[in-house]
Amino acid sequence: MYTSDNDKLFLSQLDDAVYLCQQRQKPYFFPFLSERKQAVAKRYLDSAGFMTYRFFGGYQDSERKVLGLYFYEEIEDFPVTALEITFRKADKLCHRDFLGALMSLGIERDTVGDILIEDGRCIVFVKTEISSYITSQLFKIGNAGVKIKEADSQSLPQGRGFDEESYVVASLRLDAVVAAVTGLSREKTKQLISSGNVTLNFLPCDNVSKGIDSGDTLSIRGKGKYKINGVLGETKKHRTRLSIIHYR
């Protein structure tokens, strides 16, 4: 399943990390991982029988997360810090502006987690080891002056947000759900799935008849990201009504 060079390198890094964690009997932390890499790591660690691990990105619903491996005692403190960046509400800054400003400081992308933005305020999650450097070096984003300090991660901007929608599907199969949320025909839906443009729980899935459950996440190239929020019941024609979250 893991055929790319990046996957092979990541699996090798996982092997090394497990070995070091067991030998030193100390926690081992990865950088921030994408949702796909989290899924790859979970599947690999579970299959290897290494169950003492945890993901954390700074808040409950974070997308990018740090992977922590531990030997015995579960990890309480992850090396993740929330920074609050404030600016004038008139300065309309976006995710790209903040990420670009951080990268211009010479830091690596995988040291930065989620970036949550609202008018006049941004919360960015970073590896703790670089938080002081960012605080001392970041004064402008684009042409906007900013102030930065450690944040209270209990009060977060909404971020990109989501819409909760209801759909009626013929069955809880991947092709039926994808057709419902995209509005595509059955044939075009099959082509979309078979061509590798759909991931199920962040891993590629080209099986059109794959069963879908509550809690599953679909990412559809060009259409967005969806989460199966729950089954609402059946219609009179015995079709299934689903609650689905569509992330903006």
Alpha helices in 25-151 (DSSP H): 35-47, 95-103, 131-137
Question: Has residue 159 got a pLDDT over 80?
Answer: no
Among 171, 156, 160, residue whose Cα is nearest residue 239: 171
Q: What is the mean pLDDT of residues 142-161?
A: 85
The rounded distance, in Å, linking the Cα atoms of 53 and 42 is 9
Helix (H) or strand (E) holding 10: helix 5-24
Q: How confident is the model at residue 6 (pLDDT cuts 50, 70, 90)?
A: confident
Cα–Cα distances (Å) from 71 to 19, 97, 165, 192, in that order, read: 10, 39, 42, 42
The rounded distance, in Å, linking the Cα atoms of 242 and 188 is 22
The reported pLDDT for the residue numbered 96 is: 94
Question: Has residue 3 got a pLDDT over 60?
Answer: no
Question: Has residue 71 got a pLDDT over 70?
Answer: yes
Q: Considering the chain, what percentage of its residues have pLDDT values greater than 70?
A: 98
DSSP 243: E
Which three-class secondary structure state does DSSP give residue 37? helix
Question: Has residue 83 got a pLDDT over 60?
Answer: yes
Q: Spell out the domain ranges in the chain.
A: 5-69, 80-150, 162-247
Q: Phi and psi dihedrals of 76, rounded to 5?
A: -100, -40
The reported pLDDT for the residue numbered 179 is: 95
The tens digit of pLDDT for each residue in 90-131 reads 998 999 999 999 999 999 999 999 999 999 999 999 999 999
Question: Has residue 1 got a pLDDT over 60?
Answer: no
Question: Has residue 160 got a pLDDT over 70?
Answer: no
Alpha helices in 76-211 (DSSP H): 95-103, 131-137, 174-182, 186-194
Q: Considering the chain, what percentage of its residues have pLDDT values greater than 90?
A: 84
Q: Which CATH class is domain 5-69?
A: alpha beta
**Which CATH superfamily hosts domain 80-150?**
RRM (RNA recognition motif) domain (3.30.70.330)
DSSP codes joined into one string, 62-94: -SSEEEEE-SSSPP---SEEEEEEE--TTS---
The rounded distance, in Å, linking the Cα atoms of 108 and 175 is 38
Right CATH for 162-247 from 3.10.290.10, 3.10.150.10, 3.60.20.10, 3.40.228.10: 3.10.290.10
- 230: which 2 tokens? 């729950």
Query: 146 or 71, which is more confident?
Result: 146
Q: What is the mean pLDDT of residues 217-232?
A: 93
